[in-house]
Amino acid sequence: MSRVLLRAFGVLLLLGYLLAPLTASAHEEVECGSYSCEIGWVNEPVLVGERNGLVLFVAPKDKPEEGVADLESTLKFTVEYGSVSQSYDLQPLEGEPGHYTAPFIPTREGQYTFHITGTINDETIDVKVEPEEVVTAGTLAFPEAQPSAAELSAQLAAAKVQANTAQMVAIVGAVLGLVGAGLSLYGLMKKK
């Protein structure tokens, strides 16, 4: 009886493994001379206005589990968006050799480029990676997001313009009504 249960359990595990959706890492592994660099975002999906940044892991190709420490002074990280760019200092993650980060907040949706230059143990490095695109919260937000202060301010300004326009139309209508009534009264008085 236990063999039957064990086999059934094994078959269920195998089916679960085969049917489970495969998750792909959005980090990109690139060749950096005799080293491998894994580059991506700290948090994914990447949302406009949310704190995020670069995550970088550097290891020798022949020993991918051994990270290369002390590269924060020899590597330079620049993030590019369209024609603008900004450099950020790499910060090593404590207790995790080879792991580095550079926090920043992406403020526009679209494609960013991570550019890493410098040296790893006297080997020159110059790599560019286009990580996952930055998106607005859109359909990921639940419940729907409240309008921002800027959006509310714009809506209030538009409402004020509409109210002022309606007030001017009402004043012009009242003046024309009075002029029309005055002309009618003048016409009646002239007939008498």
Domain boundaries, the chain: 25-140, 146-192
Confirm whether pTM is higher than 0.75.
no
What does the alpha-carbon distance between residue 59 and residue 36 come to, in Å, rounded to a whole number? 5
Determine the Cα–Cα distance for residues 65 and 8; give it in Å rounded to an integer.
36
N residues, the chain: 192
Give the CATH architecture of domain 25-140: Sandwich (2.60)
CA end-to-end span of the chain: 120
Q: What is the DSSP string of the chain?
A: -HHHHHHHHHHHHHHHHHHSPPPPP--EEEEETTEEEEEEESSSSEETTS-EEEEEEEEETT-TTSPPP--TTTEEEEEEETTEEEEE--EEPTT-TTEEEEEE---S-B--EEEEEEEETTEEEEEEE--SPEE-SGGG-SSPPPPPHHHHHHHHHHHHHHHHHHHHHHHHHHHHHHHHHHHHHHHHHHH-
Task: Classify residue 118 as left (phi > 0), alpha (psi -120 to 50) or beta.
Answer: left
Tens digit of pLDDT at every position of the chain (192 positions): 455 444 544 433 333 333 333 334 468 999 999 999 999 999 999 999 999 999 999 999 999 899 999 999 999 999 999 999 999 999 999 999 999 999 999 999 999 999 999 999 999 999 999 999 999 988 778 887 677 777 777 788 888 888 888 888 889 888 888 888 777 777 777 776
Q: How far apart are CA 133 and CA 81, in angstroms?
A: 11
Within 13 A of 186's CA, how many CA atoms are on the CB side?
6
Does a cis peptide bond (omega within 30 degrees of 0) precede residue 143?
yes
